Amino acid sequence: MPPPEMLQKPVVGVLLPLPLAGAYDYKLPAGGNAARGGLVSAPLGNREVLGVVWGAAEGTVGDNRLKIAEPLEGAPSLPPKLCDFIDWVADYTLNPPGAILAMALRSRGAFEPEARRIAYVRGVVTPPRMSAGRARALEVAGDGLARSVTGLAEDANVSPAVVRGLIQAGALVPTELPEFSPFPPPDDSFAAPSLNDDQAVAAQALRDAVAARKFSAHLLDGVTGSGKTEVYFEAVAEALRHNKQVLILLPEIALTVQFLERFAARFGVRPTEWHSDLSQKERRRAYRAVMNGEARVVVGARSSLFLPFPELGLVIVDEEHEQAFKQQDGAIYHARDMAVVRARIEDCPVVLASATPSLESFVNATGGRYSHLRLAMRHGAAELPRVKLIDLRQEKDPHDAEHKAQWLSPPLREALERVLAAGEQAMLFLNRRGYAPLTLCEACGHKFTCPHCSAWLVEHKYKRRLACHQCGFELPMPSTCPQCNQNGTLIPCGPGVERVAEEFAAFFPAARYSIASSDILHGPAETQAAIRAFARREIDVLIGTQIVAKGHHFPQLTLVGVVDADLGGSDGDLRARERTFQLLHQVSGRAGRAEKPGLVLLQTRNPDDAVMQALARGDRDGFYEQERGFREAAQSPPFGRLAALVISGYDGETVREIARQLGKTAPSARDVKVWGPTPAFYALLRGQTRERLLVQAARGVDVQAYLKAWLPQVKVPAAVRVTVDVDPVSFF
Ligand code: ADP
Ligand code: ZN
């Protein structure tokens, strides 16, 4: 007889992947394993929900009223450290833990055993009744290969019924195919590079950190083209030698193609991919391979942070300054910050890599909280490009009637001419999609705006449409003004990349060019094609938005022209200057990455602005120091803390009323200020009215505790949503 305690049904808290307040109590079957992370099927109402044993029961529900959660047969558990991470993220972002768990359980099917794959081989029995078809099938099967029913039917040119008849007769026997493994292990010594001195020092520091098998944070801070990727690959190799798994976070899927090939060149095989473009089946496979340790290195977008690594030994965040790491919908979190948290919980190193770190990381590194690994020079012969400002105020009439030049100033055109004559490549950069950001009626002043958003409609000339970049609303390009009904009075205002391309083509009719723009109307495939064509030198000039700014390596690119360097500089949000600097620095960094020197021309109307000056002088650290000074004086992040509330809903009056109530009930606390409510920048978005409140607090304030004390005071109707954004990076 087993001891009596084994027969008792343990009661545990089970977390469901739903936005509920917390874990619910359930009974496990007698002797059931109550360890944290166990997967169960839990009854909820009249359905069965996948859940996870989270911890001790609360005990508020009487034992006899508890339902039984059945452990999933044969399924592995979630690593307990992942459960800890989920709790941490939930707490920090003020989301229910179940909402975070939902992100970690995205691939439902992964917990069911993979369907067995059966194929057939020739058995020893010869069927009593033979036919020409049967004979042919058995002859083909005689080679000993295992085939599926349809496979054999095809190879032998018979109907599947013939094959099935042979199976029934026992002439073909089933055999189970081994599970196909698409995740061969990377080889740490496949093609180790020879590093230059700076690189070797940084690589050694990272290898030591991996070997130490404990938490440490590193800022790999190197100019564009200095070999940051080569260096952190050495840390990856070290983790592989220690039998640890590695997670590499990239800001965008668009970057991964080149990256995967580069990884394969170093390690012999591609890493495991994780992003939203995977099919259900690929997802399931990848998830399972991470969980059972088959996938050693995962490259993914921010959601890969929630994968169930049982033995994570290194986390890398490449282009760590990228805003794309901030998830803005659903549970709002910053993947770079949470990557540091995950590494701390896993007790392993985290490497943040960038040529233009976020000010937060820069302050952490220069203040000694992170190790600061610097690569000051480009690898090999490549020099950093020369940056020159073109003062648009000084340039002759930009509306020069003869040439009709509007966006490409004479010095920029001359430089383009030189580059094209020399057979080199150029890039024109403008961070604006479409043809023109605003369409205006010359006669009555009517501006085309989105009916669902407080945003202008952007003209897309190739598609002959006006489009809202916020919600995707589209309209065929009208020929008459809807307000005054006059014909031919609509004029495009300002440039987008299409318009710059039009002007470029007028000046350089023989040059080959393409537009690369992450566009609802262009599509990622077209953009990828343009970038590949540029890399293969099938085109001379790439005209693009910020999609061309990052990560790409074009050896023949010697000129970068920034059409409007002032864009985004005057947004007024606290990171506008930092972002402008980062973006322009990254774009500039595309130039001159091989032997030929690069030139960057920035067209600006504010050449004396500190951002422009820092870019022209190549004084990155000077810019960061100045920016640090501004932030410190204003007590803004990272020297103070922010949290934003966005109140949204279809009924504007209710939204404003709830926002007012929140404003009135904000508790007064030391070192906390609450601003607002005010209409958000997009006061109307996808038909919803939006109001904002901003909490500004000193660094030591527990902002989460403050919000938890405040928010429950206002009863929010179901038709209104209050979104909490801790450490906001966008102020729209
Ligand atoms: P970053 O990530 O800092 O911009 P990369 O790692 O992309 O720099 O390196 C820039 C280019 O220089 C790449 O083509 C890379 O292969 C090459 N490179 C860097 N370091 C080395 C090295 N030690 N040996 C050979 N090539 C290198
Ligand atoms: Zn819209």
Of the candidates 429, 435, 668, 658, which has an alpha carbon nearest to the alpha carbon of residue 559?
Answer: 429
**Out of 123-127, 420-424, 464-468, 486-490, least confident range:** 123-127
Give the model confidence (pLDDT) of 141-171 as tens digits.
888 888 888 889 988 999 999 999 999 988 9
Q: Measured from the CB, is residue 379 less than 6 Å from ligand 1?
A: yes
Residues 192, 194, 196: CA angle, nearest 5 degrees: 140
Our mutation pick for probing the ligand 1 site, out of 379, 553, 585, 586, counting the most ligand atoms within 8 A of Cβ, is 379
Q: Atom 17, ligand 1: which residue's CA is nearest? A: 227
Answer whether residue 533 shows pLDDT above 80: yes
Q: Measured from the CB, is residue 226 less than 6 Å from ligand 1?
A: yes
Separation of CA 552 and ligand 1 centre (Å)? 11
Question: Which residues lie below 8 Å from residue 725, measured CB to CB, with a gap of 6+?
Answer: 332, 643, 644, 645, 646
Q: Atom 25, ligand 1: which residue's CA is nearest? A: 193
Answer whether residue 50 shows pLDDT above 70: yes
Residue 106 pLDDT class (50, 70, 90 cuts): confident
pLDDT for res 129: 83
Of the candidates 120, 122, 119, 118, which has an alpha carbon nearest to the alpha carbon of residue 135?
Answer: 122
Give the model confidence (pLDDT) of 624-633 as tens digits.
999 999 999 9
Answer whether residue 556 shows pLDDT above 80: yes
> What are the structure tokens assigned to 383, written together?
């020099």
Q: Which helix (H) or strand (E) holds 648?
A: strand 640-649
Of the candidates 325, 307, 311, 339, which has an alpha carbon nearest to the alpha carbon of residue 219?
Answer: 339
Q: Give all strands of the β-sheet with 557-562 in edge-to-edge order.
A: 386-391, 599-604, 557-562, 425-429, 541-544, 513-516
Q: Measured from the CB, is residue 196 less than 6 Å from ligand 1?
A: yes
Q: Measured from the CB, is residue 545 less than 6 Å from ligand 1?
A: no
Give the model confidence (pLDDT) of 322-358 as tens digits.
999 999 888 999 999 999 999 999 999 999 999 999 9
Q: Which atom of ligand 1 is nearest to the CA of 382?
A: 12
Average pLDDT over residues 556-560: 93
**Strand, helix or coil for residue 335:** helix
User: Which position has the higher pLDDT, 674 or 65?
Assistant: 674
Q: Measured from the CB, is residue 222 less than 6 Å from ligand 1?
A: yes
Answer whether residue 397 shows pLDDT above 60: no
Separation of CA 487 and ligand 1 centre (Å)? 56
User: Which position has the higher pLDDT, 369 or 74?
Assistant: 369
Average pLDDT over residues 95-110: 87
pLDDT for res 107: 67
Q: Measured from the CB, is residue 199 less than 6 Å from ligand 1?
A: yes
Q: Measured from the CB, is residue 193 less than 6 Å from ligand 1?
A: yes
Answer whether residue 399 shows pLDDT above 80: no
Give the model confidence (pLDDT) of 565-619 as tens digits.
988 655 567 888 898 899 899 888 888 777 788 999 999 999 999 899 999 998 9
Answer whether residue 304 shows pLDDT above 70: yes
Answer whether residue 725 shows pLDDT above 60: yes
pLDDT for res 574: 82
pLDDT for res 646: 96
What is the rounded distance in angstroms from the CA atom of residue 591 to the CA atom of residue 587? 8
Q: pTM of the prediction?
A: 0.87
Residue 449 per-residue DSSP state: B
> What are the structure tokens assigned to 610, written together?
């500190």
Residue 678 pLDDT class (50, 70, 90 cuts): very high
Average pLDDT over residues 675-680: 94
Average pLDDT over residues 428-432: 92
Separation of CA 221 and ligand 1 centre (Å)? 14
Query: Please, what is the average pLDDT of the chain?
Result: 90
Q: How far is CA 604 from the centre of its chain?
A: 31
* Ligand in nearest proximity to the CA of 552: 1
User: Which position has the higher pLDDT, 537 or 114?
Assistant: 537
Give the model confidence (pLDDT) of 163-219 as tens digits.
999 999 889 988 877 666 678 899 999 999 999 999 999 999 999 999 999 999 999
pLDDT for res 404: 61
What is the rounded distance in angstroms from the CA atom of residue 403 to the CA atom of residue 406? 9
Give the model confidence (pLDDT) of 229-288 as tens digits.
999 999 999 999 999 999 999 987 755 777 889 999 999 999 999 988 888 888 888 999
Answer whether residue 292 shows pLDDT above 60: yes
Average pLDDT over residues 695-706: 96
Q: Measured from the CB, is residue 553 less than 6 Å from ligand 1?
A: yes
Average pLDDT over residues 475-504: 94
What is the rounded distance in angstroms from the CA atom of residue 360 to the CA atom of residue 637? 7
Q: Which atom of ligand 1 is nearest to the CA of 230?
A: 6
* Ligand in nearest proximity to the CA of 468: 2
pLDDT for res 179: 60
Residue 309 pLDDT class (50, 70, 90 cuts): very high
**Strand, helix or coil for residue 726:** strand
Residue whose tokens read 């997802």: 283
pLDDT > 70: percent of the chain? 94
Residue 64 pLDDT class (50, 70, 90 cuts): confident
Residue 546 per-residue DSSP state: G
* Ligand in nearest proximity to the CA of 318: 1
Separation of CA 580 and ligand 2 centre (Å)? 25
* Ligand in nearest proximity to the CA of 685: 2
